[in-house]
Amino acid sequence: MVIVNKLTWVPLMLLVMPRKHVSQIQLWSSDLLTRMGNLAVDMGAMYAPNGFRILSNFGHDGMQSQAHGHIHVIGGTSLGPYA
């Protein structure tokens, strides 16, 4: 599934996640990642046609705020070298 995450530091942030609970590491070690990656690219191209970034955070030190595995799609502005 894909949801819109309302943030102020970037115009577009979508969260792509499976309905079934999996950890971030389980997600990246599974066949789900290919399907979710394809969906993330499709949604990024649709909602940020001038470019977007796909990223994922792992654990507290990696700034992961939710234990449920997910992928971020950010865009809608020039992101520069780092977001």
- 61 or 25: which leads in pLDDT: 25
The arithmetic mean of pLDDT across residues 50-67, rounded, is 82
What is the pTM for the complete model shown?
0.85
Share of the chain above pLDDT 90, in %: 55
What domains can be seen in the chain, in order of their start residue?
Answer: 2-75 (3.30.428.10)
Question: What secondary structure does DSSP assign to the chain, as a single string?
Answer: -EEE---SSSSEEEEE--SS---HHHHHTSTHHHHHHHHHHHHHHHH-TT-EEEE---TTTTT---SS--EEEEESS---S--
> Known catalytic residue: 21?
no
Catalytic residue among 21, 60, 68, 70: 70
The reported pLDDT for the residue numbered 62 is: 63
